[in-house]
Structure 1
């Protein structure tokens, strides 16, 4: 199967129609614009049928959120990374009066490489251990550099 290329932009389509009106063949136009003659033929057939160089409308559901609303979602997450998709969905409903599913928000965040992570809960230091650590630090704070050269530090 052949390699698919991007859609031909409207300026190039105008040029193709202009070159045909000047009497050029499909292959000549193809060499000038750098496209296959079959692509040129398709553009010209669509122009002859519709009288326009615009693309046909695409199928599929239109997006629920506009680009501005998506930016608002991203901004709120960057300001508070601990927001849940459910909470963002509620905020959108209040701000923009749009009913969304949480998965819609998750897809928007995933597209921007913002993936869900859970913050790890670390045990707090007990008051007794805080006191012991402080006493240890106070005991050795006045030791000279020679003393600290003999100490072996480990990260285990």
Structure 2
């Protein structure tokens, strides 16, 4: 019976989110929703008037590039402000964010400065990859921003609980 309770407790503990993780998920959801609001509005409008053709109308002019740069730029500021030294993980994410900002901005500039319509497979996949990279980078930055400094009392309590569980 006690073994069964420990399994249930471990299962529950695995899915239990910490407060900073909940706040990070909520902040990310709101930010992504509002950053992509023109997309959601356009999608809703297109569906409601029955003029659906394909997804290309939502990325052909570089909209996903702009959404991606917006999210990654916000993430960069968080990583940059939370780095402790030039060789920590936040510095790595800061550098990666800057590189992605430059690449995606260049892709948008090349698309918007070309007068000929360019609906092709590269734009489609580059747009999708850009937004798929931007969302996790942004979410991770929210985790970094909302993570509290270490709570020594809570950490010691967890260590004592682990020791007690190990003894039993």
Larger radius of gyration: 1
Smaller-chain TM-score range?
under 0.3
Q: Which has the higher helix share?
A: 2
TM-score (norm 2): 0.22
TM-score (norm 1): 0.23
| Relative contact order, higher structure (CA 8 A, sep 6+) | 2
